[in-house]
Amino acid sequence: MATDETAVQDPQFAVDPVVLEVGQRFVDAGFELSLVGGPVRDIFLGRTSPDLDFTTSAGPDQTLAVIKGWADAHWDIGREYGTIGLRKGRHQIEITTYRADAYDPESRKPAVAFGKDLVADLERRDFSMNAMALRLPSLELVDPFGGLTDLHAGILRTPGTPELSFSDDPLRMMRAARFASQLGVGVAPEVRAAMTDMAERIEIISAERVRDELVKLIKGAAPRAGIDLLVETGLADRVLPEVPALRLEADEHHRHKDVYQHSLQVLEQAASLETGPEGPVPGPDFVLRFAALMHDVGKPATRRFEPGGGVSFRHHDAVGAKLVKKRMKALRFDNDTIKAVARLVELHMRFYGYGDAGWTDSAVRRYVTDAGPLLERLHRLTRSDVTTRNQRKADRLSFAYDDLEHRIAELASQEELAAIRPDLDGEQIMAILGVRPGPVVGRAYKFLLNERMDNGPVSEDEARERLLEWWAAQPESAVCTDRTDESENA
């Protein structure tokens, strides 16, 4: 196979001096070194890649010898796979020996075989636009599989047949969807067909690797395109089945909206409401976006056709929160992320009671307290959930939410809504009631918190009076009184 090997026109504008420096060191030592993959692709996209990946004819031990005394630090955790990591100034660098991997179709891990040829190494990479290299330090472009042409055309192709590529590493099918999201590219017909035919092979990939690709997809510039590709090829049925389940079959009278397309629109709208780094929800925000995608996953299980011809989804928010927790646990997400996404799904319908009838100050306080640190995300999720084409209805909901946010700000100026606590703490409760730590203290604390929510802050004396009134009605109060009497009589 002939290589498209030409000098890149004035690439220095995008190539950091450290790239040329390390390239010269390897050449001086008698080895080949090339910048490869994403960093090369990003040069032609006019972007600066956060990673610097190199491939070399040197073995791992030889690579260590070349960088010794030059790198600020190095590590060889990937040595078994031919990869040596190092840090030079602000750069994190990985240098990998030419590879000629052979995969066991039933295994999650490659059987590593080192190669001696750059083109053979490029042929084993995922997509042609990632199978380009810059020889160093000459900056000659090596593009044997038409990656630059595909990049300009915005199309994903594989260096070899997609069937062989996806058989070697099924995660590449997820990666295709991720690139559709991140780069806004389409996939070649043969790639889409192979993804559809081989979707079941994703099941041999670890949940952690699938999760990492999904996170990158959701945080991409066009997540809708990536999700659509997963759904259309059947991959979502295996890694995120709750999403394709949203494609509820349309009844003959079209009595409900397309929940799947609605969810994708909510995802897009939520992403558009993210803020810059200094704002309350810096984008891209996975928690907000994933909650937007998953907010209605409880609808298929709760759909009911009503006698009057309507369709209801009662309690789909609570059901959806449970489904989200289950799916995210299966994908090995951390507990904090699971709790945050599930909580947003659980709360996403809460606002509609306000839009219908307005709320008391107590209800506003509860809304803020229940949302806690997720309040700004909940604001954006709730606003994004309006996808109606009825402009009058959309304006009414927008106005109602504007009013709610104004109420929240107004109360926040008077009270510390973000950290509402009862007017008495646990130590004070025990001292006033003369009880020890136990369930009674928890119940008293909850009573005072509800009082705080309903009536706002009060003085310590008033809180004490309310607590004693509550205590007088509790069965434990009589027991404590009897014990006190017995002690005094003795």
Determine the average pLDDT of the residues in 402-417: 79
Q: Which residue did the predictor score with more confidence, 231 or 11?
A: 231
Tokens of 35: 């910048």
Query: Does residue 453 share a domain with residue 414?
Result: no
Percent of the chain with pLDDT over 90: 59
pLDDT of residue 1: 39
Instruction: Identify the three-state secondary structure at position 442.
Output: helix
Query: Does residue 412 share a domain with residue 264?
Result: yes
Q: Which of 190-194, 234-238, 343-347, 448-452 has the lowest mean pLDDT?
A: 448-452
Report how far apart, in Å, the C-alpha atoms of 470 and of each of 178, 458, 477 are. Answer: 57, 16, 10
Query: Does residue 134 share a domain with residue 48?
Result: yes
Please enumerate, as own/partner, the contacts of 96-101 that have beta carbons within 8 Å and a separation of 24 or more. 96/53, 96/54, 96/55, 96/56, 97/55, 97/56, 97/57, 97/58, 97/59, 97/60, 97/63, 98/55, 98/56, 98/57, 99/55, 99/124, 100/124, 101/168
pLDDT tens track for 418-435:
556 777 888 898 898 888
> Residue 173 falls within a domain, yes or no?
no
464 pLDDT above the threshold of 50: yes
Q: Which of 207-211, 252-256, 317-321 has the lowest mean pLDDT?
A: 252-256
> Residue 477 falls within a domain, yes or no?
yes
Rounded to an integer, what distance in angstroms lies between the CA atom of residue 205 and that of residue 169? Answer: 9
Query: Does residue 482 share a domain with residue 375?
Result: no
Residue-range definition of the domain harbouring residue 99: 1-147
Query: Does residue 105 share a domain with residue 28?
Result: yes
Rounded to an integer, what distance in angstroms lies between the CA atom of residue 474 and that of residue 433? Answer: 11
pLDDT class of 298 with cuts at 50, 70, 90? very high
Query: Does residue 252 share a domain with residue 116?
Result: no
> Residue 234 falls within a domain, yes or no?
no
pLDDT class of 102 with cuts at 50, 70, 90? low
pLDDT of residue 420: 66
Tokens of 39: 């960093």
Instruction: Identify the three-state secondary structure at position 155.
Output: strand
pLDDT of residue 412: 78
pLDDT of residue 373: 93
pLDDT of residue 488: 44
Query: Does residue 433 share a domain with residue 395?
Result: no
Q: Which residue did the predictor score with more confidence, 386 or 479?
A: 386
Query: Does residue 387 share a domain with residue 265?
Result: yes
pLDDT class of 483 with cuts at 50, 70, 90? very low
> Residue 275 falls within a domain, yes or no?
yes
Percent of the chain with pLDDT over 70: 88
CB burial readout 47-65, b (16+ within 10 A) else e: eebeebbbbbbbbbebbbe
pLDDT of residue 14: 63
Tokens of 259: 């929940």
pLDDT of residue 312: 84
204 pLDDT above the threshold of 80: yes
- Report the CATH number at residue 303: 1.10.3210
Q: Which of 16-30, 77-91, 374-388 has the lowest mean pLDDT?
A: 77-91
Determine the average pLDDT of the residues in 99-106: 66
Tokens of 102: 């052979």
pLDDT of residue 359: 83
pLDDT tens track for 65-81:
999 999 999 998 888 88
Instruction: Identify the three-state secondary structure at position 212.
Output: helix
> Residue 218 falls within a domain, yes or no?
no
Query: Does residue 462 share a domain with residue 340?
Result: no
Q: Which of 109, 128, 147 is the last residue of a domain?
A: 147
> Residue 362 falls within a domain, yes or no?
yes
Q: Which of 83, 114, 147 is the last residue of a domain?
A: 147
DSSP 118: H
> Residue 160 falls within a domain, yes or no?
no
Listed in order, strand segments (DSSP E) in 166-300 are 186-187
213 pLDDT above the threshold of 90: yes
Report how far apart, in Å, the C-alpha atoms of 118 and of each of 103, 133, 259, 340 are. Answer: 19, 9, 48, 45
> Residue 213 falls within a domain, yes or no?
no
- Report the CATH number at residue 48: 3.30.460.10
Q: Which of 117, 147, 177 is the last residue of a domain?
A: 147
Average pLDDT, the chain: 88
484 pLDDT above the threshold of 50: no
Contacts of 228 (CB under 8 A, 6+ apart): 264
Query: Does residue 113 share a domain with residue 62?
Result: yes
94 pLDDT above the threshold of 70: yes
Instruction: Identify the three-state secondary structure at position 125.
Output: coil
pLDDT of residue 306: 83
Determine the average pLDDT of the residues in 160-187: 95
Query: Does residue 366 share a domain with residue 280?
Result: yes
pLDDT of residue 356: 65
pLDDT of residue 254: 46
pTM of the complete model beyond 0.85: no
Q: Which residue did the predictor score with more confidence, 427 or 133?
A: 133
Determine the average pLDDT of the residues in 213-232: 98
pLDDT tens track for 16-66:
889 999 999 999 999 999 999 999 999 999 887 778 999 999 999 999 999
142 pLDDT above the threshold of 50: yes
pLDDT of residue 480: 62
Report how far apart, in Å, the C-alpha atoms of 288 and of each of 178, 215, 253, 341 are. Answer: 18, 12, 33, 7
154 pLDDT above the threshold of 90: yes
Query: Does residue 437 share a domain with residue 346?
Result: no
> How many structural domains is the chain composed of?
3
2 pLDDT above the threshold of 60: no
pLDDT tens track for 237-295:
999 999 999 997 554 444 455 899 999 999 999 999 999 999 999 999 999 999 999 99
**Residues 81, 121: contact at Cβ < 8 Å?**
no
